[in-house]
């Protein structure tokens, strides 16, 4: 039973603490701080984007070690010309691969090509290599990613200023161009450096999806071998960059499988070595250049 005294205590008023009152200056200061934080986040986001796509004052460049790599190996390719972009480290011709690449191209093209299409240009290092090796060729570079294509365009402007040779840049899907090729339109050389699905063999070993991508290379919606056969059938000499673990003989058979006249496709393989590794054994092949031409 509730007694009268207990009931009296229950009905006594309870003194609650007064709510904290925000003065006008405190509210204004808080709003200023919040606005400043939002602006800072936006600025950092823009800086990060510029770093990735190579735009603006914070455009990223190759490291000093890359830019200063043994210049005697280059003929004459200056890595100071290039802004970089996401994936550049494993999507571009690196200076320690230039000598083998130039030797392979020189061996294959005793008569310099007059027209060249770099169908997978990225930031344009391979494109620039074609420019310095074949100064009189008309060169077109395709890049499907519009952000990277903007970097490519700026890089090719620097290359043109240094070499005197212009490069036409197309922010477009080169597969559509190759599909429409006729023998009358085909360039002398088409270069293909398809996505390999990662930064290298180590990544492929750790990532089953990357390993699968490196075994089943493609360009857009088509198998890479089909694209090579299509371009070779149109009359172009097709130079394709392949991972070192590729079974080159099997890939060549797949190219012939897709070709309309398989016995007319001649295939030559060149090993690209890493100048940082002295041994020239097969184990130290960095990647392959496969040259396909219709005789």
The answer to the question of residue 2 being in a domain is: no
User: Which tokens in the block code for residue 3?
Assistant: 């007694």
The answer to the question of residue 146 being in a domain is: yes
Average predicted confidence (pLDDT) for the chain: 82
Please give the pLDDT value at position 42. Answer: 64
Please give the pLDDT value at position 11. Answer: 52
Sorted by sequence, the CB contacts under 8 Å of residue 137 that are 6+ apart come out as 112, 113, 114, 115, 116, 130, 131, 188
The answer to the question of residue 101 being in a domain is: yes
The answer to the question of residue 1 being in a domain is: no
Q: Range of 238's domain?
A: 53-294
Please give the pLDDT value at position 205. Answer: 52
Segment 67-71 mean pLDDT: 80
* 227 vs 208, more confident: 227
Please give the pLDDT value at position 263. Answer: 65
The answer to the question of residue 147 being in a domain is: yes
pLDDT exceeds cutoff 50 at 275 = yes
Q: Residue 272: helix, strand or coil by DSSP? A: strand
Segment 163-171 mean pLDDT: 96
Segment 198-207 mean pLDDT: 56
Residue given tokens 């003989």 in the structure block: 249
Portion of the chain with pLDDT greater than 70, in percent: 73
Q: How many domains does the chain have?
A: 1
pLDDT-derived band at 119 (thresholds 50, 70, 90) equals very high
The answer to the question of residue 31 being in a domain is: no
Q: How far apart are CA 155 and CA 83, in angstroms?
A: 7
> What is the pTM for the complete model shown?
0.76
Please give the pLDDT value at position 51. Answer: 42
Per-residue pLDDT reduced to its tens digit, 281-293:
555 789 999 999 9
User: Which tokens in the block code for residue 269?
Assistant: 């393989």
DSSP 168-230: EEE-S-HHHHHHT--TTT--SEEEE----SSSSHHHHHH-HHHHHHHHS-EETTEEHHHHHHH
User: At 264, which CATH number?
Assistant: 3.40.50.150
Order of strands, sheet of 189-192, starting from the edge strand that comes earlier in the sequence: 168-170, 138-142, 115-118, 189-192, 237-243, 285-294, 265-273
At residue 280, what are phi and psi to the nearest 5 degrees?
Answer: -110, 20
The answer to the question of residue 42 being in a domain is: no
Per-residue pLDDT reduced to its tens digit, 251-269:
999 999 998 776 688 999 9
pLDDT-derived band at 7 (thresholds 50, 70, 90) equals very low
Please give the pLDDT value at position 226. Answer: 95
pLDDT-derived band at 215 (thresholds 50, 70, 90) equals low
Per-residue pLDDT reduced to its tens digit, 148-161:
999 999 999 999 99
- Residues 87 and 60: beta-carbon distance below 8 Å: no
Q: How far apart are CA 150 and CA 169, in angstroms?
A: 9
The answer to the question of residue 25 being in a domain is: no
Please give the pLDDT value at position 200. Answer: 54
Per-residue pLDDT reduced to its tens digit, 70-101:
766 666 889 999 999 988 888 899 999 999 99
pLDDT-derived band at 203 (thresholds 50, 70, 90) equals low
Please give the pLDDT value at position 131. Answer: 96
Q: Which residues pair with 265 in a beta bridge?
A: 294
138 alpha carbon, distance to own chain's centre: 22
């Amino acid at each position: 039973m509730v007694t009268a005294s207990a009931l009296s205590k229950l009905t006594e008023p309870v003194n609650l603490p007064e709510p904290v009152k925000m003065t006008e200056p405190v509210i204004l200061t808080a709003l200023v701080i919040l606005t400043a934080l939002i602006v800072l986040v936006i600025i950092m986001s823009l800086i990060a984007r510029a770093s990735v796509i190579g735009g603006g004052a914070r455009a990223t460049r190759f490291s000093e070690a890359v830019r200063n790599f043994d210049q005697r190996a280059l003929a004459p390719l200056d890595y100071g010309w290039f802004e970089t972009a996401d994936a550049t480290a494993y999507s571009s011709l690196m200076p320690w691969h230039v000598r083998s690449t130039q030797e392979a191209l020189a061996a294959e093209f005793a008569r310099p090509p007059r027209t060249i299409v770099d169908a997978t240009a990225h930031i344009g290092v391979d494109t620039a290599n074609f420019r310095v090796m074949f100064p009189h060729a008309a060169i077109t570079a395709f890049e499907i990613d519009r952000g990277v294509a903007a970097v490519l365009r700026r890089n090719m402007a620097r290359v043109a200023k240094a070499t005197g040779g212009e490069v036409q840049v197309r922010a477009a899907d080169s597969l559509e161009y190759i599909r429409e090729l006729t023998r009358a339109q085909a360039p002398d050389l088409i270069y293909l450096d398809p996505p390999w699905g990662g930064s290298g063999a180590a990544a492929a070993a750790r990532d089953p999806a990357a390993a699968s991508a490196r075994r089943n290379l493609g360009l857009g919606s088509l198998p890479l071998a089909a694209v090579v056969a299509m371009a070779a059938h149109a009359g172009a000499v097709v130079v394709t960059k392949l991972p070192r673990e590729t079974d080159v003989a099997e890939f060549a058979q797949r190219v012939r499988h897709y070709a309309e006249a398989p016995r007319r496709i001649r295939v030559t393989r060149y090993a690209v070595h890493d100048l940082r590794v002295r041994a020239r054994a097969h184990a130290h092949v960095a990647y392959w250049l496969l040259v396909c031409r219709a005789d």
